[in-house]
Amino acid sequence: MFRQVKSVYKPNSRSFGFILLFAVLSSFLTVESLSAQMAIPMPQPSLIDTVEEGYLAHRRGDYDKAVDIYTRIIQRRGLSVKERAVSYLLRGEAKRDKGEVEEAIYDFTRALNQWPNYPQAIFFRGQCLAQLERFNEALADLTRASELDPDRESYHTNLVLLKRRMATAGLIPDEELAQADIRLPEDLMRD
């Protein structure tokens, strides 16, 4: 009735090569898709290495790159409050040097939200405020920075310079400037 048909498949070298290639590619794709599904994270560079990379970009004048690097640091998980504050400060410095003074003030303020008595953040914010001629705010910041870190001569010097600028503009009485306890470098040259 039914006749049994024997089918004999004899692969030629061309079809055998194709089958082998297909098998290798499909196994490779399977491994790739599994690793993508597992989402194995790549190890992050150390915090110190990343900060150094941002610092070097900033020194080279590549402020956009520095801002990007410091933004990545800020977004890291597991930073301490002070590490995050320093990261905001560094990003603020890069923005300030880039000419984005308002954005820099925002970052210095964010640093202070993390670490309220961070003298350097208060000082830099005060400098930026003075640059924007927001003198009363600048005076408050530079005074506070001087009080928090009384040994830092540059804080006192900048405070006196701001007071001189404000006295010249008629914003504070000359008597207040006379009470300054610091001698500026040009005053020392006259002696």
Predicted TM-score (pTM) above 0.85: no
Q: Which residue has the tokens 């079809």?
A: 15
Q: Residues 137-177: pLDDT tens digits?
A: 999 999 999 999 999 999 999 999 999 999 998 888 877 76
Indicate whether 185 pLDDT > 60. Answer: no
pLDDT at 73: 95
pLDDT at 177: 65
User: Which of 32, 66, 29, 33 shows the shortest CA–CA distance to 50?
Assistant: 66
Q: Which two tokens stand for residue 79?
A: 């930073």
pLDDT at 174: 74
Domains recognised in the chain with CATH numbers: 47-116 (1.25.40.10), 117-191 (1.25.40)
pLDDT at 172: 86
Q: Residues 94-103: pLDDT tens digits?
A: 999 999 999 9
pLDDT at 25: 45
Dihedral over Cα of 76, 80, 84, 89: its sign: negative
CB-based contact 141:129 (threshold 8 Å): yes
pLDDT at 39: 59
CB-based contact 134:150 (threshold 8 Å): no
Indicate whether 112 pLDDT > 60. Answer: yes
User: Which of 110, 109, 151 shows the shortest CA–CA distance to 129?
Assistant: 109
Q: Residues 21-76: pLDDT tens digits?
A: 444 445 544 444 544 555 566 677 899 999 999 999 999 999 999 999 999 999 99
